[in-house]
Chains A and B, each alone.
Chain A
Amino acid sequence: MKPTDTRNPDYFHKVVDCQWACPAHTPVPAYIRLIAQGQYGDAYLLNRESNVFPGILGRVCDRPCEPACRRTRVEEEPVAICRLKRVAADHRGEIEDKLPKKPEKTNGKRIALIGAGPASFTVANDLAPLGYECTIFEKLDAPGGLMRSNIPAFRLPEQVLSEELGYILDMGVELKLGTPVESMKALLDEGWAAIFVGTGAPKGKNLDLQGRYDTDNIHIGIDWLESVAFEHTKKIGKQVLIIGVGNTAMDCCRTSLRLGADTVKVMARKPREFFKASVWELEDAEEENIEIVVNHSPKAFVLEKGKLVGMLFETMEYELDAKGRIETQRVTGEVTIPCDDVILAIGQENAFPWIEADAGIEFDKWQIPMIDETTFQSTIPGVFFGGDAAFGPKNIIWAVEHGHQAAISIHKHCQGKMLTGRLPDELEMVATKMGMFEWRYSNSYDNSDRRQMEHVELVKRFEKLDVEVELGFSAEQIATEVERCLNCDIQTVFDAPLCEECDACIDICPVECLSIAPTAETEGELRNSLSVSEVEDGQALYVSDGLPLTGRVMIKDENVCLHCGLCAERCPTAAWDMQEGVIHIHHAEDQDTTSGRTGP
């Protein structure tokens, strides 16, 4: 087998499971170390470089990082990565003077950004400090996109949202509220240097069953949430049914409770293992006594004398195969469930009524625009898409990452450069050894369980619509939770010529992930001969150069390593060392520099 090339930045990046899973590649362990040291402001700024909205995301991020967390390989619960992000935001102090600044002079290049959601704001965040004149057009009277109109204030307080949007507006970004863009062709004629479409996926899916249009008490979830957010809707009936069991459904049911509903039922067509909602959103809803009813398929709306009184469902039975997929389904009966209002939360779609068919932007057969997945450019050069508008509804952190990538493209486009000539990621290795038994990170394994976030008591939280439910972590909780992070970015770096094959590292490793063995033809053969752990999430086997004394190789199973540093501590020759692998992921501002950094 060929020795592993650790100079490829992706190699060590992949070892940092959370960072690799984060669409914007937030350097999680690095910011958690800053929090551990009480450097909340620096932790906030480090977050902001990649995810732009640490205060917002520290509350409502979809957190793809957490299920990926290495900690789940030794115990059930991941590090509370998202909650720690909020800690950095809550305690950041005065950081305004360290934010990217409004430039002294602009470069005269005008960029139009359509829609004031996280995608457009990220593009503006990356481009305004470089001198671009950014103008955001928003059809509503307040900025933030779905973060304002749909994510309820009891999850995301208005002030948190406004502050972080404000940082970007302060960079000299112009915001035109109440200004819907109604024609792409007209916009193209206005001579913008580039156009970014960040209009989201604004159309809530409908459920066209009998009785649908005979009452005003059936609502489309995202429209209803928007109307609540802008205080057009202030109450709802006593008995409410929510159709669908995704995250929108969770926000609809909890909002209903706050508008005066007594019993709220979330109606799911399938069993629990098929729910789309995140586990934590389900838990939060159930904590508020929301009933989730499974195996009920909607059949008709039931009206009496023009008034909605209930909904008819077919009760379902499913048979699953060995892999847990539905093999067969059967209707076992029908049942009517009484209700005063029904909220449909069964998904969102893209819609671009303002883009003319002959504007030059090509759509596929599902009416999704054809967008390049690297550059985010549409079929018209200089017109870019990002966020939910690009590939359908995702989440905030994806909208942010799209924004970063589109900003790089816009910068290149405006300079007349090739969009694909983007600066690759770079890796910088930094020493962490301070002395005997002393490393620049807290390397000892802490077996504490995940800290549980305190919630406002039930009676208090329904008093007003915007009482934030989560209280944040206490000082003690912070101190414990930061220690749970395994510091996966502190990499084990091996220098084969130094090894004298004493096996000390192999013996000390608490998870037995090291071996010295004759090399093999393929990784599969090596794995078989070593009885190493099962392959998980594509983690690699590290294979060294031939060792000086016997020509065998050092093999490390990256899957289970806890980054405890005991191998390096125990090695008499420092053949193993612990080094921080800083992965530089470039944004628009870095594109004109060449740092010349190299790997280990």
Chain B
Amino acid sequence: MTSFVKPHIRRKNEPVNELGLVRADYDGAMSTLCAGCGHDSVTASMARAFFELSIKPHRAVKVSGIGCSSKTTAYFLREAHGNNTVHGRMPSVATGAVAANSALTYIGVSGDGDSLSIGLGQFVHAMRRNVNMLYVLENNGVYGLTKGQFSASADLGSLAKRGAPNEMPPIDPVSLALSVGATFVARGFSGDREQLVPLIKAGLKHKGFGLIDVISPCVSFNDHKGSTKSYAHTYKYYHKAVHADYVAPSKDIKVCYDEGEIMPVEMHDGGVIRLRKLEKGFDPRDRAAAMSALANAQKEDEILTGLLHIDETHPDMHALNKMEDRPLNEIPYAELNPGGAKLHELQKGFR
């Protein structure tokens, strides 16, 4: 055979979720990425998170820009809605979609090139607006799709495959997000599913903009010695500050929180995110603490991971702009379009 497909096989006693679906029902088309690409692993984690949350695939929306990372929306949730936008323009398309129908679950998938170079402006403003979506930034330090040029997240001194050093300072998406007031800021690693799946679940349940910066190595162009985004480097300098678990409403929410190390954060849907401190004195609910922990880690060359900041109290785009909560397609036409006379009346008010 010239290519291969992953067959759909129903195993005996295969686990099902609350909808009666199996994990494989959350898969998509066969990935065409390089074998071993971190992005595939992130795709698998996203599929698992949707499965575990029992989200109906057709009630989800996947949006992305351009890049190997952005291609991956085709590789999970085959029954969901999706839009592959132009390079760096996913946030505006997502903002429009969320405005039109806030009842769906939105996930954006992008890369460090897509988000931090061409799309930096859009990315930052979506965070400021607190658009209700989860934004997964698959960060490999290069433009994978165009064969490995340094991206804006490449670390100072990191070496390209042929040996050239990067001489410009990096943009750290996590620091950037904290500085523009993002309300859910996390970092993960494609190789650590135990941490990543719960982070994605929490991010999907967060009301407002959730950013997960996922270190996701490019095996073809940035997985060599001297790269600071390789598997080997990431496994070595990887540091977990906090572990987050999302607990759905009604499910044993009342468990005792006085375990000392567990910090509960109540969510809008009635669920709870339980944060387990792995770092002494670190409290992700405190933005300033998160920024200083990040700065310290950078000094130590550590890759600080986990749910680094969460703020469930800040209003999202809908609340902030007093927007209609009902999806536009559910509003009767007459109400949606009150007619020319009403328009004139409105316009008169502006004269």
Using CB atoms and an 8 Å cutoff, list the residues of chain A in contact with chain B: 73-74, 437-438, 444-445, 447, 500-504, 506-508, 510-512, 531, 533-534, 549-550, 560, 562, 564, 566, 569-573
In the complex, are the beta carbons of B191 and A73 less than 8 A apart?
Answer: no
In the bound complex, how far is the Cα of B7 from the Cα of A564, in angstroms?
Answer: 9
In the bound complex, how far is the Cα of B191 from the Cα of A73, in angstroms?
Answer: 30
In the bound complex, how far is the Cα of B2 from the Cα of A500, in angstroms?
Answer: 26
In the bound complex, how far is the Cα of B141 from the Cα of A486, in angstroms?
Answer: 41
Complex contacts, A562 vs chain B, CB 8 Å = 9
A558 to chain B, nearest CB (A): 14
Complex contacts, B295 vs chain A, CB 8 Å = none
In the complex, are the beta carbons of A569 and B9 less than 8 A apart?
Answer: no
Main secondary structure of the interface of B (DSSP, over half): loop
Tier of interface size on chain B: 35 or more
Q: How many A-B residue contacts, CB cutoff 8 Å?
A: 85
- Which of the listed residues B35, B41, B236 has the most CB atoms from chain A within 10 Å of its own CB? B35
Contact with A along B35-46 (1 / 0, CB 8 A): 111101101100
Complex contacts, B87 vs chain A, CB 8 Å = none
In the complex, are the beta carbons of B7 and A569 less than 8 A apart?
Answer: no
In the bound complex, how far is the Cα of B12 from the Cα of A560, in angstroms?
Answer: 10
Does B97 make an interface contact (CB < 8 A)?
no
In the complex, are the beta carbons of B35 and A570 less than 8 A apart?
Answer: yes
In the complex, are the beta carbons of A507 and B44 less than 8 A apart?
Answer: yes
In the complex, are the beta carbons of B235 and A510 less than 8 A apart?
Answer: no
Using CB atoms and an 8 Å cutoff, list the residues of chain B in contact with chain A: 1-13, 15, 23-24, 34-38, 40-41, 43-44, 190-191, 193, 217, 219, 223, 231-232, 235-236
Complex contacts, A447 vs chain B, CB 8 Å = 7
Complex contacts, A507 vs chain B, CB 8 Å = 40-41, 43-44
Complex contacts, A560 vs chain B, CB 8 Å = 11
In the bound complex, how far is the Cα of B1 from the Cα of A572, in angstroms?
Answer: 19
Known contacts A74-B9, A447-B7, A566-B6; decide if A512 and B235 are in contact (CB<8 Å). no
28 contacts between A and B (CB under 8 A): A74-B10, A74-B11, A437-B1, A437-B4, A438-B1, A444-B1, A500-B36, A500-B232, A501-B235, A502-B36, A502-B38, A502-B217, A503-B41, A503-B44, A503-B191, A504-B36, A504-B41, A506-B44, A508-B6, A549-B235, A560-B11, A562-B9, A564-B7, A566-B4, A566-B6, A571-B35, A571-B36, A572-B219
- Closest residue of B by beta carbon distance from A509: B6
In the bound complex, how far is the Cα of B10 from the Cα of A73, in angstroms?
Answer: 10
In the complex, are the beta carbons of B191 and A501 less than 8 A apart?
Answer: yes
Complex contacts, B40 vs chain A, CB 8 Å = 503-504, 507
Q: Which of B3, B9, B219, B232 contacts A510, CB < 8 Å? A: B9
Complex contacts, B44 vs chain A, CB 8 Å = 503, 506-507
Closest 8 CB pairs of A and B: A572-B36, A445-B7, A507-B44, A549-B235, A502-B36, A503-B41, A500-B231, A572-B35
Known contacts A502-B41, A549-B231; decide if A437 and B36 are in contact (CB<8 Å). no
Besides A444-B4, A560-B11, A571-B35, 10 new A-B residue pairs in contact (Cβ under 8 A), listed by A number: A73-B11, A501-B191, A503-B191, A503-B193, A506-B44, A512-B11, A549-B231, A549-B232, A566-B4, A570-B36
In the bound complex, how far is the Cα of B4 from the Cα of A438, in angstroms?
Answer: 10
Complex contacts, B2 vs chain A, CB 8 Å = 437
Q: Which of A500, A533, A570 contacts B11, CB < 8 Å? A: A533
- Closest residue of B by beta carbon distance from A507: B44
In the complex, are the beta carbons of B1 and A501 less than 8 A apart?
Answer: no
